[in-house]
C-alpha cells in the first residue's frame, strides 16, 4: 500500500492495518523457517509496510502533542 493511501486512513484503521501487517510478517517468518517461502522479498516488503504505518502514527502523535502544547 502506498504512503499516500495510508495517510488517508484514520488512526483506528491504521492500527488495524498494523495488526494485519504484523500478523502477515509472522506468517511469512514461519514459512521461511519451515523452508516453504519462495519469495523472501515479501518479508522485506512487510517490514517496510510496518515501518510506514508506525511512521505515520508517530507523525500524528507528534502533531497532536504540538497542538495541545500550543493550546495550553
Output the pLDDT for position 40: 87
The three cell numbers of residue 66 are: 504540538
Q: Angle CA(15)–CA(25)–CA(27) in degrees, nearest 5?
A: 120
In the chain, the domains with their CATH numbers are: 3-71 (1.10.287.310)
Q: CA 15, 21, 27, 30: dihedral to nearest 10 degrees?
A: -100
**Any residues with CB less than 8 A from the CB of 60 and at least 6 apart, and which?**
11
Is 44 buried (19+), middle (13-18) or exposed (0-12) by CB count in 10 A? Answer: exposed
Q: What is the pLDDT of residues 14-68, one digit of tens each?
A: 999 999 999 999 999 999 999 988 998 999 999 999 999 999 999 999 999 998 8
Amino acid at each position: 500500500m502506498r504512503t499516500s493511501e495510508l495517510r488517508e486512513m484514520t488512526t483506528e484503521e491504521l492500527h488495524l492495518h498494523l495488526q494485519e501487517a504484523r500478523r502477515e510478517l509472522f506468517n511469512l517468518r514461519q514459512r521461511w523457517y519451515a523452508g516453504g517461502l519462495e519469495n523472501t522479498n515479501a518479508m522485506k516488503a512487510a517490514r517496510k509496510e510496518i515501518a510506514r504505518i508506525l511512521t505515520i502514527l508517530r507523525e500524528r502523535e507528534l502533531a497532536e502533542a504540538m497542538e495541545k502544547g500550543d493550546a495550553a
